[in-house]
Amino acid sequence: MSSRCIKVETIVCLSKLADTHIEMEIDPEELDTITAKVSPTYPEIKAYVLEHHGLKVSSLAIAQTKKKCGLEVGECYNLPSGHGRPPTNLTPEREAAIREAFQYYGLI
């Protein structure tokens, strides 16, 4: 009796849309051509900027730079009540360093 090993991979796309169901069939031979795009986390961007430029940048500065570059910015759920977030000290030097990190990670 011979034993067979079967490898099964599942690809899941999560959505905020309720009551949405999409069925997909993917030929296992096509999986080699599919690549997932992984976005860097804010701590990874902060670490890159600190290591390469010696600058500490805030998450708000990263989000503002993302908006300037036309990149998607997630919703912030821990905003202070009242008037919103205070403006950040996003200097041209910090913005350029963040943009360099975006280029390094392939975001722009």
What is the chain's Cα-based Rg?
20
pLDDT value of position 26: 76
The 10s digit of each residue's pLDDT in 32-46 is 666 666 788 999 999
pLDDT value at 72 more than 90 = no
pLDDT value of position 55: 95
pLDDT value of position 4: 66
- Specify the residue for token string 């403006």: 87
Cβ atoms of 9 and 31 within 8 Å: the answer is yes
Residue from 14, 13, 11, 15 nearest 34 by CA = 11
Rounded CA-CA distance 58/62 in Å is 6
Cβ atoms of 96 and 102 within 8 Å: the answer is no
pLDDT (average), residues 49-58: 95
Task: Kindly report which listed range (43-47, 62-66, 81-85) carries the lowest average pLDDT score.
Answer: 81-85
The 10s digit of each residue's pLDDT in 5-39 is 666 677 766 666 666 677 777 777 777 666 666 78
Q: SS3 string of 54-91?
A: CCCCCHHHHHHHHHHCCCCCCCCCCCCCCCCCCCCCCC
